[in-house]
Structure 1
Amino acid sequence: MRASSLFMTALAGLLLAGCVHEAGEPTPFAQREAVEQSVTETQVRDGRVRVPETAIVQRWDMPHVFVLEEGKARARLVEPGKDRGRYREVLSGLDGDETLVVGDLEEVVDGTPIRQ
């Protein structure tokens, strides 16, 4: 196993430090099995992106959605706007042409393979 130091600047000049370890064998996350989930397209109405409420998850006090990319769920931070019933406006973080993973997202994390 080999370790390296990592320093990066993020969020208004804050310096984050950490340690990166190179593992000899795949981690359990890399071996994750596909999860069956529903997907839906984002909607654009009156120039505003709207997503189903079930697409937005709140983890670590950060709202995000999972965008389907090459068969995997990819976490994307979003700024939710007004509640529109079953849908919510998204002020930033999406373009309006994404496919989103929706439903019970308890088992979904960034990189989870999605089976539709």
Structure 2
Amino acid sequence: MSVNLESLDHMVEVDECCSSDGERKSHHSDKVKNNLVSRLNRIEGQIRGIKGLIEKDTYCDDVITQISATQSAINSVARILLEGHMKTCVLEKIQEGDTEILDEVMVTIQKLMKK
């Protein structure tokens, strides 16, 4: 399942930057938090389902298909978080003249692409 970042616009509300008074912390709206928690709850259920499939000796290909779907769901959560981060924290830091934030973003993207 591929998700176009433009289609995520309705899920990401631009709030405040991720740092407040020097403390690194995200500031997602309740709507965004609820969306992410809901997605993570479904992922948690998928993981439990995969565990059950393995316990029942389900055919390997069927288990792998479920694992792939779960990985896609996790990637979707990461994309939503990354988009919000880019539109708030990163944009604000760049506007303040702090271009070192780009190094942090590149490391983060590299971590996501390893998967």
TM-score by length of 1: 0.23
**In proportion to residue count, which structure has more helix?**
2
Larger relative contact order, structure 1 or 2 (CA cutoff 8 Å, min sep 6): 2
**In proportion to residue count, which structure has more strand?**
1
